[in-house]
Amino acid sequence: MSVFTGSAVAIVTPFTEEKQVNYTAFAKLIEFQIEKGTDAIVVCGTTGEASTLTHEEHLDCIRFCVEKVAGRVPVIAGTGSNCTETAIYLTEEADRAGADAFLVVTPYYNKATQKGLIAHFSAIAACTEKPVILYNVPSRTGCNIKPETAAFLFKNVKNIVGVKEASGDLSAVAEIMARTEGKMDVYSGNDDQVIPVMSLGGKGVISVLANVAPAETHEMAASYLRGDVDKARQLQVDYFFLIKALFKEVNPIPVKKALNLMGLEAGSLRSPLTEMEPETAAVLEQEMKKMNLL
């Protein structure tokens, strides 16, 4: 059984003006997501600025999210690292905290060969009995999971069940599905490719857009899953320019700006990320107004 189908939000981590985790705002964001129909919450991923959290903050955010969600939707904890032992530690602790599954990114900076990726992901998966979803985002990590590697891990490691594919390569998605007979759970990691990925057998999206438009992102995926392809395709097209605006600067700079414009108190960013430039912020605000989000 899939960890989830539909739309999972890659939720932001809100900070105070002093750049501490704002748990009051975090609780409100979690409730907003659940009220609007989000199918799962991914905590401490790229959008959650996990790379700037201390290990203690990282795990506290996971514990907090699990507690607030209280079983209403699956909580998927981002527990990846470029160090295998660190990823194992984070995964073990997130498992104890009650996370339902784990999203594990490829090693960044030091990278790895395909053999190294198999060893890395296999060791992490071995420390838990819960599902593991691979996260392939070579534009950020400089490390790509080849389709044959994803398929090998799926076939040989019982709790590696899926992959968040953010390479933008639809041929790679098709090859993963072909090599696993359509059995591996593939999720779009790009909001502008939700329906293309689902048309190849994908189960949904792990979404940045869902932070600001959770109901609409849920409906995009849900429409496709219930067979209303025309509605799903139209939603994908309708939100194209907002999605583009949400990536005018590196994620999560724009989405935090968008949430703040909506009064949802995402707060500031941690260095080295900086506030959105006025000209790109103006484009974002214009697109949000077009989609009636402001």
Q: Return the active site residues.
A: 135, 164
| Contact in structure between 91 and 104 (CB atoms under 8 Å) | yes
Q: Residue 249 CB: number of other CB atoms within 10 A?
A: 18
- Which residues are within 8 A (CB) of 137 and not within 5 positions of it... i.e. 6 or more apart? 46, 105, 106, 164, 166, 167, 189
- Residue carrying structure tokens 């398929």: 151
Peptide bond before residue 272 is cis, with ω within 30 degrees of 0: yes
Spatial distance between the Cα atoms of 294 and 290, rounded to a whole number of angstroms: 8
The torsion angle over the Cα atoms of residues 144, 101, 153 and 53, rounded to 10 degrees, is: 30
Spatial distance between the Cα atoms of 44 and 50, rounded to a whole number of angstroms: 5
